[in-house]
Structure 1
Amino acid sequence: MGQTIAWIRRFSWRDALVSALPVALLLAAAVWAALHFIDPAPRMNVVIATGSEDSAYLEFAKSYAKLLAEDGVTLDVQTTGGSMDNIKRLRDPEDSARVAFLQDGLSDTEESRASDSDVDLVSLGAVSYDPIWIFYRSKTVQTRLSALLGKRIGVGNKGTGTQVLALRLLKAHGIDESNSRLVYTDRAQARQQLQDGTLDAAFFIGAPESPLVRALVAYPGIRVMNLDQAEAIARQFPYLHPLVLPHGAMDLAGNVPVRDLHLLATTTTVVVTRNLHPAIVALLMKALQTTHANAALLNAPHTFPAAKDSDFPLSKDAEHFYQSGPPFLQRYLPFWLATLVDRAALAIIPLLAIMVPVFRAAPALYGWRIRRRIYRWYGELKYLEIQAQSQQPDASREDLQKQLDSIESKVTNAVIPLAFSEHAYVLKEHIDLVRRKFRS
């Protein structure tokens, strides 16, 4: 009796391991695929292309870098020649830059058009107004760009956003290289040439807080063009905004400027490559919100960042941020932990889809192996029964009896799980049935 109970309760570890092996291999492959292809870990070092060293872009980027460093992400700030240079860098798959500042209104330039590369760019939104300052030397006040006809005009370096916008505005007023002298030079040289009289006028793009702008506003003999056609010009160039800088806004004590200034401004947009990890995009959006939410001389509080005025489609992650704020996990967990949990969740969903049928298949595979062994003994038993029914000599019958005893011994000593004991008992009954046939 004790031997029978032990026989019933035995568990086939060998069958279990063999059955579990393909399941384990499949799950391991699924986990590896999930971690490597479904949602790879974000890079903790990101390069941002800014602009010249005296631009507001550089200060913006430094603020972002400080905020991202709090979450363990390094933002490598690199100065460039400006917006057109930034577009080229983002569109170059070999370049390390993944984030950059761009001016609106440059989408139809040759540099900004999609190249042969497969790099896609998306916007995180506008972050500030970029006024276009037109400084000129004159004893009389000028309010229209047409007054620059025939003058020596600094239009910025070739390939810069300043140059592109300056040439467009001048062309709209009938001014080009055939009737005026257009000088292509950088900001520092244009400032110097304007101050020493080598230039009659020059275009600059920058915030009112810019040291260069403040220096030229205060320089004797140099004026800022107060555009009385700003509204009309903005109608022709939709990416430009007519703005008013109130008198005294730059210096209350000195009343600088001395009168309200009507200016035109483009907007600065933060653009990223489409493959930038969503977790990094969320961190950048938080940095943009912290850096630009305050009021400035040309905008009210919470004007920026804003999902507007972009030459590029808005990032889906940025759109979600504008609608719902930071991702749920990043609101309550450290960045590294939120990223880990988020990746795990993304991996678990497809894994569950695989694991449910796999775990259902494992017991079936185990049961198939046990039944296969029993069916094999049935095959041997059937063979002996056929041999017994044929007219065999007595010696041959004795040999068949030994084979029958061998089958019974195998069944008795086999490791049969309790759930399959019924099959074993039925097989033993059939063995007895065949034995009785041998004796008859």
Structure 2
Amino acid sequence: MPKTLKLILLSLRDLIVSAGPVVFIVIGALAAAYWYLDPQPPKTVTLATGPAGSAYAEFGKRYASALKTNGIEVVLKATDGAADNLQMLRSGEADIGFVRGGSADPVADEEAGLMSLGSLFYEPLWLFYRSDAARKIDPNSAALTALPQLRSLRINIDKQGSGVPDIVEKMFKANHIEARTLRLSNLEPAPAVDALLAGKVDVVVLASAPQSPLVQRLLRARGIQLMDFGQSDAYARRFAFLSAVTLPRGVVDLAADMPPHDVALLAATTSLVASDQTHPALRQLFAQSAQTLHSGAGWFNRARDFPNTRTSELPVSPEGDRAINGTPPFWQRYLPFWASNLIERMWLVLGGLVVLMLPLSKIVPPLYQFRVRSRVFRWYARLREIETKVDTRAGDRDALLDELDELDRVTHGIAVPLSYTDELYALRNNIYAVRKRLLANWPKEPGPAAAS
């Protein structure tokens, strides 16, 4: 092996060994932080949606598609609605779910560890009724405008667990109407719509986003009308979880001028709710996906009105607040999800390690220097032994000369960086000086021939 290459390899080895303790500490700290912080999320997450055909079910499919691009499988769990979703979140059967305003208990659910990822959209309370049923109440008008007009009609208020029956019963009570005096049923949304169209019920109450196929179907059905809540502002003042919204004229179908006039409605705000046991990276992914899925203009809102954190009943998680109100880190635009998430979760640890390495790095040069110099200094012990023997004339003169010659040969094989060669040459000079003293102070005794 060429001497230059050997010198390079030796210097590299010394550097690695000198930096080894620091590297070991850093790797150990990183491993411990990775284990403790658990930055990488599980590959599956359960999303509680809603009944088949509902807006919740449709949005669930969109979230599943959005998260699939990041390698996360979203398991969609069909439920009876917002109240059922809340129960699943409380029991841990679901990680994330859609929850309608008015369904959660702000105090109890906050204590249970539930948090909002942001409000997503208005979910109007659609009260569809049959025109022929309305004429039975008032032959001069086929329009219903107030809840007391429904006393004698067959009303479906959605399935228990959807949260709709609770809202409707509160509204009836505000009108001094006892729910037990009404002809109420609790069919699921799809069968209820079929029953309304078939004339088996007179009124159907749905709480769903306008994207729901069932809502779209009833808005275009003949003989079916949408109730105009003329008292929507009053209801919104009485119930904090409701907002007064307007279905604009022609928004359903501009060409057909449907609806032919503005319709006043009541709406709750639907939020994406997660458990505090759900991995933070998954909460972040859902909150970021909400920015894409719900930021467009809708029938009841302008572009970028949603998602927002203003109308959430539950505390907003840091991930939701950062995704909605903050600016995403620049590296998210250039790195894949796993790498971006790793930096996001461990940036504090990485910064701490940088601070820790500053003082630790100062011990590397002395360690390196010690290793290189020890290659030279360790031979001084042997040289001192020889020097002591020379001074005391202990041992055999020729044997001591052989030891000095051997030591000299060894030192010529030592490889050190150029900056340390002065110490190597100093050792050789000292070997030469001891040999010189030995020859001067301990002359060779004449042999028998010389003596005669």
Q: TM-score range by the shorter chain?
A: 0.7 to 0.9
1:276 partner SS? helix
Question: 1:294 matched to which residue of 2?
Answer: 297
Tell me, yes or no, if structure 1 residue 17 matches structure 2 residue 16: no
Provide the TM-score with structure 1 as the length reference.
0.73
Report the secondary structure of 1:130's partner residue.
Answer: strand
Structure 2 residue corresponding to 1:132, chosen from 119, 125, 148: 125
- 1:29-428, aligned counterparts within 5 Å? 40=39, 48-64=47-63, 77-90=76-89, 98-108=95-105, 112=109, 114-115=111-112, 121-123=115-117, 125-135=118-128, 137-138=133-134, 139-140=137-138, 142-146=144-148, 153-176=155-178, 179-180=181-182, 182-191=184-193, 201-208=203-210, 210-213=212-215, 224-246=226-248, 249-250=251-252, 257=259, 260-272=262-274, 273=278, 275-277=280-282, 280-281=285-286, 284-289=289-294, 292-296=295-299, 298-323=300-325, 328-329=330-331, 333=334, 336=336, 340=339, 361-389=363-391, 392=392, 395=395, 400=400, 402-428=402-428
- Kindly provide the CA deviation profile for residues 361-410 of structure 1, in whole angstroms up to 9, marking residues without a partner as x: 55533321232243332233334444555xx5664666555544444443
**In the alignment, is the contact (CA less than 8 A) between 1:243 and 1:264 conserved in 2?**
yes
- CA gap of 1:397–1:122, structure 2 versus 1, over 3 A, is farther
Q: Match of 1:132, SS?
A: strand
The answer to whether the 8 A contact 1:64-1:287 is kept is: no
Aligned-partner residue type, residue 411 of structure 2: V
State the shift of 1:293 in Å: 0.9
Unpaired stretches in structure 2, ≥5 consecutive residues? 442-452
Contact 1:10 1:416 in 2 (8 A): no
Matched residues in 2 for 1:189 and 1:235: separation?
33
The alignment partner of 2:280 has SS state of coil
Relative to structure 1, the CA distance from residue 280 to residue 224 in structure 2 (aligned partners, 3 Å threshold; closer, same or farther) is: closer
CA contact (8 A) 1:129 1:268 kept: yes
Residue identity opposite 2:187 in structure 1: T
Mapped contact 1:49–1:79 kept (Cα < 8 A): yes
Q: Which AA in structure 2 matches 1:127? A: L
Structure 1 pair 214/416, CA: closer, same or farther in 2 (3 Å)?
Answer: closer
> Alignment identity in percent?
29
Matched residue SS, 2:86: helix
- Equivalent residue of 1:87, what SS? helix
Q: CA contact under 8 A between 1:274 and 1:315: conserved in structure 2?
A: no
* 1:431–1:328 CA distance, 2 compared to 1 (3 A): closer
Structure 1 residue runs without a partner (length 5+): 1-5
For the residue of structure 2 that corresponds to 1:312, the secondary structure is coil
Equivalent residue number for residue 3 of structure 1: none
- Counterpart Cα distance in 1 of 2:173 and 2:394: 119
Q: Is the 8 A contact 2:44 2:74 kept in 1?
A: yes
Alpha-carbon distance in structure 2 between the residues aligned to 1:70 and 1:143: 47
Whether the 8 Å CA contact 2:280–2:319 is kept in 1: the answer is no
Conserved? CA contact 1:84–1:112, under 8 Å: no
Alpha-carbon separation, structure 2, partners of 1:103 and 1:52:
14
Q: CA 1:178/1:9 → structure 2, altered by over 3 Å: closer, same or farther?
A: closer
Per-residue CA distance 1:322-360 (angstroms, 9 max, x = gap): 4566654555x5x74x76477579788677667766766
Q: Which moved more, 1:253-262 or 1:425-434?
A: 253-262
TM-score of the pair, normalised by structure 2: 0.71
SS of alignment partner, residue 206 of structure 2: strand
Check 1:110–1:197 CA distance in 2 against 1; reply closer, same or farther (3 A cut). Answer: farther
Amino acid at match of 1:80: T
Contact 2:173 2:179 in 1 (8 A): no
Distance, in Å, in 2 between the alignment partners of 1:70 and 1:395 is: 83
In terms of mean alpha carbon deviation, does 18-27 or 403-412 score higher? Answer: 18-27
CA distance in structure 2 between the aligned counterparts of 1:13 and 1:316, rounded to whole angstroms: 51
CA deviation vs aligned residue, 1:181-216 (integer Å, no higher than 9, x gap): 654332234445556676565431124564534555
C-alpha distance in structure 1 between counterparts of 2:415 and 2:286, whole Å: 59
Aligned residue identity for 1:263: L
CA 1:407 to 1:17, structure 2 compared with 1: closer, same or farther past 3 Å?
same
Report the Cα distance in structure 1 between the residues aligned to 2:369 and 2:254, rounded to whole angstroms: 88
Inter-CA distance 188–30: structure 2 relative to 1 (3 Å threshold): same
Aligned residue pair count: 421
Report the equivalent of 2:447.
Answer: none
Matched-pair contact (CA < 8 Å) for 2:116–2:271 = no
Whether the 8 Å contact between 1:42 and 1:280 is mirrored in structure 2 is: no
Distance in 2, Cα, partners of 1:114 & 1:189: 37
Whether the 8 Å contact between 1:234 and 1:242 is mirrored in structure 2 is: yes
Q: Which amino acid aligns with 1:107?
A: A
CA shift digits 1:245-276 (9 cap, x unpaired): 34555456766556543221012223454523
1: distance between equivalents of 2:51 and 2:194? Answer: 17
Partners of 2:265 and 2:126 lie apart in 1 by: 7
Aligned amino acid, residue 163 of structure 2: G
Structure 1 pair 135–395 and aligned structure 2 pair: CA distance change class (3 A): closer
2:119 partner SS? strand
Equivalent position amino acid for 2:97 in 1:
A
Q: Which residue of 1 aligns with 2:448?
A: none
Partner amino acid for 2:263?
A: L
Change (3 A) 1:230 1:372: same
Determine whether 1:429 maps to 2:432.
no
